[in-house]
Structure 1
Amino acid sequence: MTKLRKESIIIELKGNKYPNYNSLITRLIDFGYTRVNMVLDPDEFSVRGNIIDIYPESHSHPIRIEYDDDMIDRLNSFDTHTQRSLSKLKNTSFSKVDIDRKKKFSKPETLHSTDLLSEFFEGDYIVHEKYGIGQFMGLERKNFLNKEVEYIVLKYHGDDTVFVPLTQLRDIYKYSYNNDLPKVNSLNDGAWKKTRAKVKKSSENLAKDIFIIQKLRIHQKGYSFKEDTVRQLELEGNFEHVLTKDQASSIVEIKIDMEKSKPMDRLICGDVGYGKTEVILRAAFKALESGKQVALLVPTTILAEQHFKIFNARFKPFGYTVKVLSRFRQKGPQEETMKELKENKCNLVIGTHRILNKAIEFADLGLILIDEEQRFGVSHKETLKRFKKLVDVISVSATPIPRTLYMSLTGTKDISVIATPPKSKKNVLTYVGPHYDNIVNKAIKDELKRKGQVFYIHNRIQSIHSIKIKLLKQHPEAIIKVGHGQLNEKELQELLVDFLNKKIDILISTTIIENGIDIPNVNTIIIDRAEQFGLSQIHQLRGRVGRSDIQAYAYILYSKNKKLTKKAEDRLQAIREYGSLGSGYELAMKDLEIRGAGNLLGKEQSGHIVSVGFGLYCKLLEHSINEAKGITTKSKKYIDVPMDLITINPQYIPNIRERLSIYRRLLRLQKRDDIKGILNELEDRYGECPSEIYENFEAISSYRE
């Protein structure tokens, strides 16, 4: 592909050397810039009234140009994350887009942007506290008190439509769902009222149950582990990394629990690669130092083998025996391990649900560690419940739980949250774009060159082998294998062990390969046909790389020539924002949190989350728990803004999602002074406000706080 000839657009304020407004737009298109609603990435430009935003590849920040007719009134750089101006410029220049340019990577974790774009796309399912589950259909202007104001349009069963005043935006939640589409409510059958009442009653019962369990646990007698020994301090001193603040506080919480005489039942939540293993390793050692045995229960055979390597390496120098019970071990050694457990010759055993087998007897079990408890079956969970009455238990989950839920459960359930990544953990650099073979081949070539391995996610079994043939032509030296759901469990496990042991360079697989597998040498993931995935899936897939201190890369690629449905286009836009803005990162976390909440609260409550939506469910549960605690729930004090003062003319801010985000911020105002900040931002991003906005904002600032 030939490079485009270098040409430049030069802007010098001194001497008025620059193109006029229309000429600049025409030249930007000729230069290969992509016109978008909001500039987030290099080689994009946007037009809003008199303002043109441009992000030249050669610039560290994009630039904002405000025209007054054909004269430039303002020239600034600006920040993509906040969309606010940074510094004034006197001149600038930029060239044509280089189509062979280096790929654009972004780091979503560092950004926060829900104040820039509303999470509502047209057609999204939402929950209104009063009307129930419906669909968001956009905004519509209607007459109110002889004034044109905007209403939120919600569609319900049949032809039912509700025009909701903007002041009720706080009562509307995005309905997040993992699998099936929700059933839209009717406005005429009273079903929503009954559903809401049922969920409220259930959340009240749950809150009471939590307190009963807590009171019972206070009176239960368990084993009190002794204080830290010198050997404990020695083991902890051997750790080659510095603990994060969250790791350190989790360890302190666990040790305090272990030294108490009541049985511990603690949950540790933390994202993939945030250092949960070190936390449970120290707890296990503390139990061993008190002469007790420890069992570590994991969902898969490969995880058992991985944990064995880590625990054995750290515990062996102190004379402790660590063994594995799994299908990868021969029958003879397994029987030997069972004998040693009974005779107290094996100190720590790691394995799958086999550990729960009645044939396995422990001489003196003191602590059970459970990795991803929600992945075990009902009968295994029942067995675990019996264990929990007798010994200390720590459950570990990589699925986050929502902050609101965590805060409201504090004091009722013992939860440690590890929310900060280790310092050595680098952000996964993320590229979002159309699928081009040269991008894929370059990504693979770069990874193999540094002796790394590649995950290639392709979710169609019918065409997965043709991907292998295609990649082999480009990379004949690479060992490429395929994994999918038609392989049996043993074949899949063996495939993963080979991948872990660096016997495979590229593993092409469907999403069947589960999370939680720690393969530090895999630092490039290619996600094919990204438009077919939800954000939470993308986030979890992306979490499979970056498990060491080596820089990792994720390529989120969508089909380039396919005509996409409105839903797929919206999803792609959200993925693009995930890569650039980080707003999608928050949405992805929300999706995962729903799962986390369901895991934490059980099957019945999961059903309730589905029936009223996650946002409203959290609100109801928080209220019920506070009632059970005897705490009066205080709602935040916002300035009471009348709806006729909120409306912004669509000609001034044409994008619905941008307008909605401003409306939401106006409804969250707690101080009159905050209105000035929003007004300054509007002038910066969209140019001079229409007189109507100045008048409305002036009126809002005179309202009581």
Structure 2
Amino acid sequence: GHLGVQVAALSRFTTAKETTRILAGLKSGAIDIVIGTHRLLSSDVHFKRLGLLVIDEEQRFGVAHKERIKDLRKSVDVLTLSATPIPRTLSLAIGGLRDMSVIRTPPETRRAIRTFVAGRDPTVIKTAIERELGRGGQVYYVHNRIEELYARASELHELVPDARIRVAHGQMSDRELEKTMLEFVDGNADILAATAIIESGLDIPRANTIFIERADNFGLAQLYQIRGRVGRGSERAYCYLLVPPPSELSHEANLRLEALTKHTELGAGFQIATLDMEMRGAGDLLGADQSGVLESVGFELFSEMLEQASSELSGHGKPPEVDPELSVDVEALLPDDYISDVGVRLSLYKRLAGAPDEEEIDRIGLEMTDRFGAVPRSGLALLELMRLKVSLRRLMALGMNATKSTATLHLRADTPLSPERLVPFISAQKERYSLSPDGSITRRSSATPFDHGLAHASRMLDELAQLVT
């Protein structure tokens, strides 16, 4: 380029002629930077004087590649980036054997991916696709059985006849695969039906709905990665894990799905601006600002946390289809000047997320006071936020938005709030309450607004709790 640095790219899509030229350039030193897949770790790749190796998505490399990297480490500086669980390596960093950096800044405007567990219901699929295409977006449909992929593509065509559908899998020729992927990247296709070949490397901000069929057959880290294909821009992204009924799944599969639906909530799902972690797929980083981790390591700690989360969650039966989303205009988090250890903060967030009732949340609050001193304002707000989440689950709410002057509650059809009691209550409180046709309830505070949205949400939920049958 204009900096006088020669850059080359090497992958399975590189032609044989180009590959020969690049290999010669690396050996002679004519090429300064090479970007590539694990093809770069092959034995026929020789460098004149390799100084730095940067590995993105470390969890994608197999044992043989790891050994090759280990050989290189002896003479080369190695920087590893990752945002999903990988065994063994994080403990080396924590033990001080490797340096670790945590990037604490979230990508601007990035939002949590809403994750649902559902059966393969045509109505759900059709509605979600139409919503995504209606806002000018694109859709992934992931199914890991090539022999069924084309049948799925034609089923999708019947559901959404106007959509332009393409199919991608690893048994296609490189040229055909590249052409299909480019069509999708350029926006010339609406739906990409693909195998897990899309797991990493695709960054398409317009694609914000993903279906993963038989999600119970994927490993947890792989599900994170695949889910991480969406939500890469500022639009809210949706992930549907399509699975058979819980009774037909193994215990472990149910735990994986539960951990995945819970772990969207460890980030923007709680509308907490700077949570320690939102477990998401590729490309974002861990830190007190919500979106993953940059590491010179990998992620043993994550695996342990997930195991812990799974065992805690396993007692709660089937996860709710939708965990309520609560959006309030108040900072709710555990600041690092209150609890400096990121692991301890993470563990507390996870325990709060899994707390089944207000009593457990209060217990955790007392424990925090006992261990770390008086809980700061943002920590108290977090505890209150979690209590409200418990109330929202009881009301089978989809979500709630609250400011100091207005609070709106969105309910599921199966809410225990009885219409016989709700309608007269709202009629009697006309100056304060209103009911919209879509079933959401809005409360406006009278002349004196609340201090913040949390207090308003709390008052509204207390008033409505009286109406539960």
Q: Please, which of 356, 370, 374 is the counterpart of residue 670 of structure 1?
A: 370
State which structure, 1 or 2, has the greater radius of gyration over its C-alpha atoms. 1
Residue 452 of structure 1 aligns with an amino acid whose one-letter code is G
Cα-to-partner distance string for 1:18-41 (whole Å, 9 max, x where unaligned) = xxxxxxxxxxxxxxxxxxxxxxxx
Q: Which residues of 2 match residues 29-48 of structure 1 at below 5 A?
A: none
The structural deviation recorded for 1:461 is 5.2
Q: Which residues of 2 match residues 48-59 of structure 1 at below 5 A?
A: none
- For residue 210 of structure 2, give the secondary structure of its aligned residue in structure 1: strand
- For residue 199 of structure 2, give the secondary structure of its aligned residue in structure 1: coil
The structural deviation recorded for 1:544 is 0.8
Is 1:334 paired with 2:19? yes
Cα-to-partner distance string for 1:294-335 (whole Å, 9 max, x where unaligned) = xxxxxxxxxxxxxxxxxxxxxx23232212233322222322
The structural deviation recorded for 1:564 is 5.9
- For residue 14 of structure 2, give the secondary structure of its aligned residue in structure 1: coil
The structural deviation recorded for 1:670 is 0.8
- For residue 448 of structure 1, give the secondary structure of its aligned residue in structure 2: helix
Q: Please, which of 355, 358, 362 is the counterpart of residue 47 of structure 2?
A: 362
Q: Please, which of 172, 185, 203 is the counterpart of residue 500 of structure 1?
A: 185
Q: Which residues of 2 match residues 464-503 of structure 1 at below 5 A?
A: 464-484=149-169, 495-503=180-188
The structural deviation recorded for 1:432 is 6.2
Partner of 2:426: none
Distance 2:225 2:241 in 1: 16
**Tell me, which stretches of 5 or more residues in structure 2 are unaligned?**
287-292, 310-343, 345-353, 392-469
Distance 1:502 1:672 in 2: 52
Partner of 1:437: 122
Q: Which residues of 2 match residues 136-175 of structure 1 at below 5 A?
A: none
TM-score (norm: length of structure 1): 0.36
Indicate how the Cα distance of structure 1 residues 548 and 472 shifts in structure 2: closer, same or farther if over 3 A, else same.
same
Residue 238 of structure 2 aligns with an amino acid whose one-letter code is A
Partner of 2:229: 544
Is 1:556 paired with 2:210? no
Aligned-residue identity in percent: 36
Partner of 2:421: none
Count of residue pairs brought into register by the alignment: 323
Partner of 2:79: 394
The structural deviation recorded for 1:454 is 1.2
The structural deviation recorded for 1:421 is 1.6
Given that residues 527 and 557 in structure 1 are in contact (C-alpha distance below 8 angstroms), is that contact kept between their aligned partners in structure 2? Answer: yes
Q: Which residues of 2 match residues 237-276 of structure 1 at below 5 A?
A: none
Indicate how the Cα distance of structure 1 residues 480 and 343 shifts in structure 2: closer, same or farther if over 3 A, else same.
same
The structural deviation recorded for 1:657 is 3.5
Distance 1:548 1:377 in 2: 30
Distance 2:160 2:149 in 1: 16
Indicate how the Cα distance of structure 1 residues 546 and 389 shifts in structure 2: closer, same or farther if over 3 A, else same.
same
Distance 1:462 1:518 in 2: 26
Name the stretch that deviates more: 498-507 or 565-574.
565-574
The structural deviation recorded for 1:554 is 0.8
Cα-to-partner distance string for 1:449-505 (whole Å, 9 max, x where unaligned) = 555321113455565433322221243343323345766888766644543344532
**Tell me, which stretches of 5 or more residues in structure 1 are unaligned?**
1-315, 617-635, 637-654, 687-705
Bigger share in strand:
1
Q: Which residues of 2 match residues 458-607 of structure 1 at below 5 A?
A: 458-459=143-144, 463-484=148-169, 495-528=180-213, 538-549=223-234, 551-556=235-240, 567=251, 577=262, 589=279, 600=297
Distance 1:389 1:366 in 2: 11
Distance 1:407 1:355 in 2: 25
Cα-to-partner distance string for 1:133-179 (whole Å, 9 max, x where unaligned) = xxxxxxxxxxxxxxxxxxxxxxxxxxxxxxxxxxxxxxxxxxxxxxx
Distance 1:344 1:376 in 2: 26
Q: Please, which of 401, 411, 416 is the counterpart of residue 101 of structure 2?
A: 416
Distance 1:320 1:502 in 2: 32
The structural deviation recorded for 1:534 is 7.0
Distance 1:456 1:329 in 2: 27
Indicate how the Cα distance of structure 1 residues 662 and 465 shifts in structure 2: closer, same or farther if over 3 A, else same.
farther
- For residue 225 of structure 2, give the secondary structure of its aligned residue in structure 1: helix
Partner of 2:60: 375
Indicate how the Cα distance of structure 1 residues 673 and 510 shifts in structure 2: closer, same or farther if over 3 A, else same.
same
Partner of 2:4: 319
- CA RMSD after TM alignment: 5.4
Indicate how the Cα distance of structure 1 residues 475 and 382 shifts in structure 2: closer, same or farther if over 3 A, else same.
same
Cα-to-partner distance string for 1:266-318 (whole Å, 9 max, x where unaligned) = xxxxxxxxxxxxxxxxxxxxxxxxxxxxxxxxxxxxxxxxxxxxxxxxxx232
- For residue 541 of structure 1, give the secondary structure of its aligned residue in structure 2: helix
Partner of 1:347: 32
- For residue 328 of structure 1, give the secondary structure of its aligned residue in structure 2: coil
